[in-house]
């Protein structure tokens, strides 16, 4: 086999003089053209003349010229030698502004994130090793848009056991976060002429934005102590709910409303999207099972690894009614082929080995303790604030003492480098709940939790 | 701390009799309702009566009833006891058909995939361990939609060194495969009123489908031995090209056309999308640098890990002109937040440590050898077939002997359990190239390559 660039390679930096010289010459010429030292149309010395000047082989110069011609920097015309291309001067690459950094905060009680210090790095790496070592070759290729069968099977068993979901592996689509899952679902609904979506009056602004970006018309449902008011669903095709633990108000959907919304869906052949974002975390009793089990053909169940493991994994899943399997598979294929397989294989291994259950139990205990400490501290040191909602999830609604305004409290907290969010950040309708903070008690690392809660109490009583 | 479900957990299967009995009772009742044994409206025995019947504590029954009421299976009304809900009967979950499996093939010379047996599992796992061990907590949370800064920095250096791309980390967006990268770019172009896209007359059908799905109007450019004919761009806003190695024809875009398309873009403030899907694999000479370097403000450079590592990773990247950074960041955020961070951190570690370069060199050598073997075998045993295109990439265009038709050859190959693809699969316009196969010589594992090529020769001469 002849020696070529392929098996020697400039990136080896072998001291093969001709090659090094040629690369250096190319580099110098490119720089000179980019910087304007050599302007468009400028004529270069002949390869012979330049070779003599530089004391190098003529071939080296000729090859460098040839490369730059191929790249478009130079133009060679019969009879007129080699010139700098008349190509438009390349615009200088100005460093563009970085996106805003998160403000520097010392204590963080904003909701939406688990304690990232609890991510089981060692267990994850061990599972990744087992999974990748055992993975068939095809796991590394292009695959089923729904995701790896190993993960879909593991999830079907897990969701059935832990959340009562009635699902088989073929009905599961693994997505890059719930945001993508909802986006694809909204696309499919819109393509099917089902453009009218109802969402809870308090919820994640991102979900609303995704719905609007995908062309849906959004109506809001009032939310009260019994969850979303499902009486306002006439003329709606799809409703997005957080039945186990309303986000952010923290209440479950009442049994009566659960029944009624399922009736609404089945009778009119409509769709419920059940966002079960923190269904594994209930502390005072066994969690209420998924609504999906009541009507698997009319409910899309959405779950995620963002709360039990880490949002950075971007792993979420949908359990679909049968009529949505094909359109959702196609939507996912057109969106990105499928989600990355290595993390899917690792999560499957984690679930099947039992390590995921152990980790969830550990988190559940830790977050229950934090919630208890938060409630106790507020009771002692900020008794005019009131924690509402059920003992569940990773956040609590803390209603402000009478007369206090959210913005003022958030600003006072910021003055102490404590980041908190007012409930109003999540409001999407006229309805106004009384002023409150949405406290994410899972966010700080364990060592910072007590101090963060102390700051919160001070701010609330201040 | 009191003992609760959270810290004991049904999933521990502790032999705590009340809890086990209650779970068993709930399960039996759910099954009876789902199966129709207990029909809607049926009245259940009082908790006292059932407890006596079963010889268990009344509380256990009451709690099970309460759980099923909360889940909507039962309804409890003051004075009328506990009944099965009038909820609509849950539709039976029929197992839906699986998506079609790939046909069983023994020899696979279809294009688009690297040799998955070459994926560096050990190096990947070692890099994953280093990366995850060193990762800051925020790498596990929600992050910059453009992807992890570690990877964007590593890519900026790598792309500049290996492909001459002029880019800084802030201009890179990491996507879930080139399909997503193109989809988001098309969305942004369409939202900006730039709906007219030109594509090469031979190309990936998926890319075309993504363009159409995102609302673009697609025109095709004829392709000849000098690459895409860029004279047909009047009235076009965006052109998608494979300049280094046209897919599937295998020719590079000529220097003259490179210059002209860049002029077209800069003069009319239009956009070139440079799909550099296999730019790292050139065997006969140093690869032609990226067009992007000629006009960084008018070219989007798209690269991928699918050829050098594995498509299953779903890792691709765009180098953007400055005006597209903000809209693309926002489009990516709305699509899925960002791509999963763990594989990004691992790939960054692989690049920075030099392991990626070593792996690419190993692949380059292996694929060059395979191409040489393919060319030699065809020359010896199927001399009427002709390999065209440059010595690059992971595929070769093999023009059929005179008089042979693609479909007939593909069918003959299938009869020998050899999977090949005809060029016509990639045709998107009236223009017809002469009949050919697009041979992916990287696809089979090493041990199967010689036999696959032998089958191909037999089919071509048959």
pLDDT tens digits along A226-259: 999 999 899 999 999 999 999 999 999 999 999 9
Question: A146: which chain B residues are within 8 Å (Cβ-Cβ)?
Answer: 99
* Contact (CB, 8 A) for B441 and B449: yes
The whole-number pLDDT of residue B94 equals: 39
- Among A4, A295, A343, select the one facing B342 at the smallest CB separation: A343
A68 confidence band (pLDDT: 50, 70, 90):
confident
Query: Does B439 touch chain A if contact means CB atoms closer than 8 Å?
Result: no
Give, in order, the Cα–Cα distances in Å from B398 to each of B364, B420, B422. 20, 11, 9
The whole-number pLDDT of residue B208 equals: 96
Q: Inter-axis angle of helices B58-71 and B47-54, to 10 degrees?
A: 120
pLDDT tens digits along A370-421: 999 999 999 999 999 999 999 999 999 999 999 999 999 999 999 999 999 9
Question: Residues of chain B with pLDDT > 90: what percent?
Answer: 75
Is the CB of B336 less than 8 angstroms away from the CB of A72?
A: no
Instruction: Work out the mean pLDDT of chain A and round it to a whole number.
Output: 89
Backbone angles phi, psi at A277, to 5 degrees: -65, -25
Dihedral of CA atoms B69, B73, B77, B81 in degrees, nearest 10, equals: -100
| ipTM attached to this prediction | 0.84
Question: Would you give the DSSP letter of residue B427?
Answer: B
Please name which of A274, A300, A299 lies closest in space to residue A288, comparing C-alpha atoms. Answer: A274
The whole-number pLDDT of residue B98 equals: 37
- Among B162, B179, B255, select the one facing A72 at the smallest CB separation: B255
- Among B6, B91, B263, select the one facing A364 at the smallest CB separation: B6
A100 confidence band (pLDDT: 50, 70, 90):
very low
Question: B99: which chain A residues are within 8 Å (Cβ-Cβ)?
Answer: 144, 146, 329
pLDDT tens digits along A277-288: 999 999 998 888
The whole-number pLDDT of residue B88 equals: 44
Contacts of B345 (CB under 8 A, 6+ apart): B128, B131, B132, B135, B139, B148, B150, B151
- A178: which strand partners? none
To the nearest whole Å, the CA of B462 is away from the closest chain A CA by 30
Question: Residues of chain B with pLDDT > 70: what percent?
Answer: 91
Question: B311: which chain A residues are within 8 Å (Cβ-Cβ)?
Answer: 140-142, 337
Q: DSSP characters for A354-379? A: THHHHHHHHHHHHHHHHHHHHHHHHH
Question: B128: which chain A residues are within 8 Å (Cβ-Cβ)?
Answer: 125, 128
* Contact (CB, 8 A) for B127 and B313: no
The whole-number pLDDT of residue B34 equals: 72
pTM more than 0.90: no
The answer, yes or no, to whether residue A3 has pLDDT greater than 70, is: no
State how far Cα B387 lies from the chain centre.
29
Residue ranges of chain B with pLDDT lower than 50? 1-16, 88-102
Q: Which of residues 337-376 of B touch A (CB under 8 A)?
A: 337-343, 357, 361, 364-365, 368-369, 372
The whole-number pLDDT of residue B5 equals: 33
pLDDT tens digits along B118-143: 999 999 999 999 999 999 999 999 99
pLDDT tens digits along A104-137: 789 999 999 999 999 999 999 999 999 999 999 9
The whole-number pLDDT of residue A87 equals: 57
């Amino acid at each position: 086999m002849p020696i070529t660039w392929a098996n020697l390679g400039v990136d080896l930096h072998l001291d093969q003089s001709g090659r090094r010289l040629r690369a250096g010459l190319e580099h110098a010429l490119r720089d000179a053209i980019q910087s304007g030292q050599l302007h468009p149309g400028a004529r270069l010395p002949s390869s012979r003349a330049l070779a003599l000047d530089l004391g190098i082989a003529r071939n080296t110069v000729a090859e460098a010229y040839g490369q730059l011609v191929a790249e478009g920097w130079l133009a060679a015309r019969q009879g007129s030698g080699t010139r700098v291309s008349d190509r438009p001067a390349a615009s200088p690459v100005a460093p563009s502004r970085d996106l805003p950094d998160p403000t520097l905060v010392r204590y963080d009680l904003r909701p939406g994130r688990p304690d990232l210090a609890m991510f089981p790095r060692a267990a994850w790496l061990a599972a990744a090793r087992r999974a990748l070592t055992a993975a068939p070759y095809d796991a590394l290729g292009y695959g089923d848009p729904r995701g790896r069968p190993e993960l879909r099977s593991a999830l079907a068993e897990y969701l059935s056991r832990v959340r009562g979901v009635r699902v088989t592996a073929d009905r599961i689509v693994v997505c890059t976060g719930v945001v993508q899952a909802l986006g694809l679902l909204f696309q499919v609904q819109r393509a099917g002429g089902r453009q009218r979506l109802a969402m809870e009056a308090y919820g994640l602004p991102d979900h609303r934005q995704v719905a609007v970006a995908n062309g849906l018309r959004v109506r809001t449902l009032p939310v009260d102590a019994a969850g979303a008011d499902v009486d306002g669903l006439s003329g709606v095709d799809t409703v997005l709910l957080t039945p186990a633990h309303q986000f952010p108000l923290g209440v479950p959907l009442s049994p009566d409303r659960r029944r009624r919304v399922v009736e609404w869906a089945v009778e009119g052949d409509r769709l419920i999207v059940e966002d079960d974002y923190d269904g594994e975390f209930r502390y005072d009793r066994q969690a209420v099972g998924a609504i999906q089990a009541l009507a698997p053909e009319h409910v899309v169940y959405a779950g995620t690894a963002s709360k039990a493991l880490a949002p950075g994994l971007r792993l979420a899943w949908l359990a679909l009614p049968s009529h949505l399997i094909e359109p959702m598979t196609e939507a996912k294929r057109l969106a990105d082929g499928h989600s990355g397989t290595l993390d899917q294989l690792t999560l499957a291994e984690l679930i099947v080995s039992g390590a995921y259950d152990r980790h969830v139990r550990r988190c559940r205990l830790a977050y229950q303790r934090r919630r208890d400490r938060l409630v106790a501290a507020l009771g002692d040191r900020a008794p005019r604030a009131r924690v509402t909602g059920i003992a569940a999830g990773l956040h609590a609604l803390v209603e402000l003492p009478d007369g206090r305004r959210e913005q003022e409290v958030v600003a006072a907290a910021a003055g102490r480098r404590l980041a908190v969010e007012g409930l109003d950040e999540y409001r999407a309708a006229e309805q106004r709940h009384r002023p409150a903070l949405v406290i994410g008690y899972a966010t700080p690392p364990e060592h910072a939790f007590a101090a963060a809660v102390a700051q919160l109490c001070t701010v609330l009583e201040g």
